[in-house]
Amino acid sequence: MSLFKLPDLGEGLQEAEIVTWHVGEGDHVVADQPLVSVETEKAVVEVPSPWSGRVARLLAASGDTVAVGADLVEIEREAGADTGTVVGQVSAAPAPQAAPARTEAPVASASGIKALPAVRALARDLGVDLASVVPTGAEGHVTRADVEAAAGGSAPTGAGPDWRPVRGVRRAMARNMAASGRAVVPATLMDEADIECWADDADIMMRLVRAMAAGVAASPGLNAWFDGAGERLAVHDKIHLGIAVDTEDGLFVPVLNDIAGRSGDDLKAGLEALKAAVRSRQIPLEHLRGQTITLSNFGTLGGRHAHLVIVPPQVAIVGSGRVVHKVVPAGYAPAVHRILPLSLTFDHRVVTGGEAARFMRGAIEDLEKEG
C-alpha cells in the first residue's frame, strides 16, 4: 500500500478543497488517470493518479479542505507499473500499520498548536482562541473546519439562519478583503472623462486598458507593490493589469500581462481568452497572480463611483462607472456629452495625493482623445 498526499500545487498554496472524486474505493486506476478535482483560491485543478493500482481508501471527502502534504488516498500499487506525472510536487509514504489514537483534549499551550497560517488568520477574524479548539486534522493540526465549528458553537440556539460554510472563490475573496482591511490605509480620488469624441462602436474596455498604461506613465509609483511588514516598495517596469471579472461563483481577477508593450489587437485577444478561461473555471493559476495594478469596470453592472478595495501587495485600483449623459459647456453653449465616471483608490501609506492626481489626469487625457 502507498499513501498519496496532496501535492504542492505551486504559487505558495497551502491547502485545497476537494471538489469531486473521479474514482471510488475498489476502483482500478492507471497512472495519469484523473483522480480528483480540487479547488484552490481561484481555480479548479485536476490531480492525476501517480501510480497504477487499486484504490484502497479515499482519505478525504468532497467539500473537505486538505492541507498540502496531508494524506489524500491510499493505493495498492501494481508491481512494476509506471509512475505517472503529477500536478506540482508529489511525495508518497508507506501506509502506516496502525494509526495512533488521537487525543480529544484541546491543546493547552499556544506554542504547541499546529495550524496553517491561513487557519490562524481565520481564527483571528472569527475571534476564536486556538487553544480552545479540539484539533481533528492529521497529526493534531487544527483545520479550518475546526475553527468554523468553534465559532459556530457560540451562535444562538434554536431557530435562526441557515449557516453554510463559505468555500472556494468566495472564501478566497473573504480572506483577501479581510487582509486588505487589516493592512491598507485607503484613500479615494474621483473624477470624470468626457468621451463624446468616441466612436459609437468604441471598445470601452480596450480604451480603459490603454488609459491605465497612460496613467502609469504619468505616475509610475501606482504600479507598485508594498511590503508593509518589511517597509519596502517595489515599483514595476511592466504593467501587469488585474481585470476584475464578476461571476456567479465570485470575483476573479485574471492578469493581462505587459499592457504597455502589446498591440491593441493582441490585448483584446488576450482579454477574451482570459474571460473564457474564467467562465470555464480552467484558468491556470499563473494567470491569476502577479497583478501590479487592478481595473474594475463595474459600470457595466451599475454605479458611478466607488470606494474600491486594494488587495495587497498592490497599492492602487481603478474603477470605471456607468456612462451617463450630462449637460456640459461647449464653447458658449450647453451640450449633452457622454461622461465616464472614474474612481481611483490608493494606499496612502506609500502613494501621495499628488501622485494619485497625476495618474488620474494622465488616464483622463488619454480617454478624451479620439481613436
pLDDT reported for residue 10: 65
pLDDT band at 305 (very low <50, low <70, confident <90, very high): very high
Strand partners, 296: 319
Determine the Cα angle at 185 with ends 256 and 314, to 5°.
20
For the chain, percent of residues with pLDDT exceeding 90:
52
Total-model pTM: 0.69
| The one-letter amino acid at 10 | G
Assign domain 102-154 to its CATH superfamily.
Answer: E3-binding domain (4.10.320.10)
What tens digit of pLDDT does each residue of 138-148 get?
Answer: 667 788 777 87
Q: Phi/psi of residue 56, each to 5°?
A: -85, -50
Considering the chain, tell me which residue range(s) the CATH 2.40.50.100 domain(s) occupy. Answer: 2-94
d(C-alpha 167, C-alpha 173), whole Å = 10
d(C-alpha 345, C-alpha 366), whole Å = 19
CA 255, 258, 259, 265 dihedral sign is: negative
What tens digit of pLDDT does each residue of 149-191 get?
Answer: 777 654 444 556 777 777 777 877 888 888 899 999 999 999 9
CA 86, 87, 88, 93 dihedral sign is: negative
The half-sphere exposure of 182 on its side-chain side, counting CA atoms within 13 A, is 13
Q: Into which CATH architecture does domain 185-367 fall?
A: 2-Layer Sandwich (3.30)
- How many CB atoms neighbour CB 165 within 10 A? 15
**DSSP string spanning 101-116?**
PPP-SPP--GGG-EE-
- Residue 173 near residue 250 (C-beta atoms within 8 A): yes
Grid coordinates 481568452 are at which residue? 273
Q: Which three cell numbers stand for residue 147?
A: 475553527
Strand partners, 20: 37
- Residue 239 near residue 259 (C-beta atoms within 8 A): yes
In terms of C-beta distances under 8 Å and separation of at least 24 residues, what long-range contacts does 264-269 make, across chains too?
Answer: 264/206, 264/210, 267/206, 267/209, 268/203, 268/206
335: Cβ–Cβ under 8 A, 6 or more apart, which residues? 196, 327, 328, 329
pLDDT reported for residue 93: 41
Residues in the chain: 371
Confidence check: pLDDT of 80 > 80: no
Q: Does domain 2-94 have CATH number 3.30.1370.30?
A: no
Confidence check: pLDDT of 104 > 70: no
pLDDT reported for residue 12: 61
Find the mean pLDDT for residues 223-231.
95
What tens digit of pLDDT does each residue of 31-64 get?
Answer: 999 999 888 766 778 899 999 999 999 998 888 8
Considering the chain, tell me which residue range(s) the CATH 3.30.559.10 domain(s) occupy. Answer: 185-367
Considering the chain, tell me which residue range(s) the CATH 4.10.320.10 domain(s) occupy. Answer: 102-154
pLDDT band at 235 (very low <50, low <70, confident <90, very high): very high
